[in-house]
DNA sequence: CTGGTTTAAGAACGTTCGTTCCTATACCGT
DNA sequence: ACGGTATAGGAACGAACGTTCTTAAACCAG
C-alpha cells in the first residue's frame, strides 16, 4: 500500500501545537512547522491540506488533550482551590489563549473550537464562568511575566 | 523647513493602534498600515523607523490613552462594581490583550509596556491583581463571542 | 527668484511566504 | 518478480512581505 510513513501523525500534531502555543498563526511559518514536526512539506500538505488545516488539527488536539486534562484537575480540586489548580496546570493552556485572542476573530472554525474549550472549562468550574475568566486572566499575567505577588 | 506633512502623527498612531487591536503583529502588513493610516510608506519609515517602531508607538499610545481612561473609570467606580466598569469600557483594551498574549514573549520592549499597563490597571483596582486578571479574562470571553450569561 | 530641506509618491529591492510539482524510493498484493 | 501506490526529498512557483531608493513637489530663509 505505498511507501510507509516515517512520521507519526499524532506526534506531528502535538509538535505543531507546541509551536502554535508560542507564536501567532502568521508568526509561525510552514518552514518552522516542517522543522519542528520533522514532517516533509509534501507530506504535511498531503496530510493536513494546508497550514490552516494543521493549525485546526493542532488546536483540536490541544483541547482534547491539555485543556481536558486541566479541566479534570479543576474538577478534582477541593472547592475554593479550583482556580489555583487551573493555574498550576495552566502553563499548558497557551495555545488556547492565543487561539482565543489572536485567531478566533479571523477564523470562524477556530472560534467554534475556542467556544468548545471554554465550555469544557466552564463545566469543570461547575458553570462558574467567572472562574474560567479568572483562570485565563491569571494565565495572561503569568505569560506576561507578571505573576501574582502572593 | 521643507515640504509640510499632510498627515498628523497622532492620528496615524491611533489608526495603527486600532488595526493592531484586531490582528497579530505578523498578521498586519505594512501595506495595511499605509492604507489605514493614510501615511505614505516612505514617511512612515522616516517617522517610525520600522513596522516595529510604529507598533511600539501605537502600543504606548494605547496604554496612555485607552488603558489609562479605563483605569480612571475603574477608580471612580463604587467598590464591588469596578470589574463591571472595566468590562464596560474594556472593549477598547483589545490591543493590550493582543500585545500581552501574542507579542510580549517575542519582544522585551513590548513586554515592558505590557507590564506598565498592568501596573496602571492594578493601581486602579487598588492593587487587587486578581481583579485585573478577572477583567482581562472576561475581556477574552467577550472577544471570543462568549460573554457571560447573566 | 533661488538654494536648501523635507515630504509625497511610487517604483524597486531582495527575502520569505504558502503552496505545488517532480522524481526517486519503499512498501504492498498478486 | 513486478506493477501499483503512497511517501520522501527537494526544487520551483507566484505572491506578499518589510524595507529602501529615486524623483517630483512644496515649503522656508536669503
Q: Choose the CATH number for B9-142 among 3.40.630.30, 3.40.50.300, 1.10.357.10, 3.10.20.520.
A: 1.10.357.10
Q: Is A110 helix (H, G, I), strand (E, B) or coil?
A: helix
Residue A11 has which C-alpha cell?
A: 506526534
Query: Is the Cβ atom of B50 within 7 Å of strand D at any atom?
Result: yes
User: pLDDT truncated to tens, each residue of chain B (150 aa)?
Assistant: 889 999 999 999 999 999 999 999 999 999 999 999 999 999 999 999 999 999 999 999 999 999 999 999 999 999 889 988 888 877 889 999 999 999 999 999 999 999 999 999 999 999 999 999 999 999 999 988 655 444
As a whole number of angstroms, the distance between CA B145 and CA A108 comes to: 11
What pLDDT, in 10s, does the model give residues B87-108?
Answer: 887 788 999 999 999 999 999 9
B69 CA vs D22 C1’ separation (Å):
44
As a whole number of angstroms, the distance between CA B52 and CA B109 comes to: 10
Residues 46-65 of B with CB under 7 A from strand C: 46
DSSP letter (8 states) at residue B117: H
Residue whose entry in the numeric block shows the C-alpha cell 516612505: B42
Give the dihedral of Cα atoms B27, B30, B32, B36; nearest 10 deg. 130
- Cβ within 8 Å, pair B101-A22: no
The CATH superfamily of A9-139 is Tetracycline Repressor, domain 2 (1.10.357.10)
Query: Is the Cβ atom of A45 within 7 Å of strand C at any atom?
Result: yes
- Cβ within 8 Å, pair B145-A106: no
Domain ranges of chain B: 9-142
Q: Give nearest nucleotide to B1 (CA–C1').
A: D28
pLDDT at position A25 is: 98
Query: Is the Cβ atom of B69 within 7 Å of strand C at any atom?
Result: no
CB-based contact A127:A74 (threshold 8 Å):
no
Amino acid at each position: 500500500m505505498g511507501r510507509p510513513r516515517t512520521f507519526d501523525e499524532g506526534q506531528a500534531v502535538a509538535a505543531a501545537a507546541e509551536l502554535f502555543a508560542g507564536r501567532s498563526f502568521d508568526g509561525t511559518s510552514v518552514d518552522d512547522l516542517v522543522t519542528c514536526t520533522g514532517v516533509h512539506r509534501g507530506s504535511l500538505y498531503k496530510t493536513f491540506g494546508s497550514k490552516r488545516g494543521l493549525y485546526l488539527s493542532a488546536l483540536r488536539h490541544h483541547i482534547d488533550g491539555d485543556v481536558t486534562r486541566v479541566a479534570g484537575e479543576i474538577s478534582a480540586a477541593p472547592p475554593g482551590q479550583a482556580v489555583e489548580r487551573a493555574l498550576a496546570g495552566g502553563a499548558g493552556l497557551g495555545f488556547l489563549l492565543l487561539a482565543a485572542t489572536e485567531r478566533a476573530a479571523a477564523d470562524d472554525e477556530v472560534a467554534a473550537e475556542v467556544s468548545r474549550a471554554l465550555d469544557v472549562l466552564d463545566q469543570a468550574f461547575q458553570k462558574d464562568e467567572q472562574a474560567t475568566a479568572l483562570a485565563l486572566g491569571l494565565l495572561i499575567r503569568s505569560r506576561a511575566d507578571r505573576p501574582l505577588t502572593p
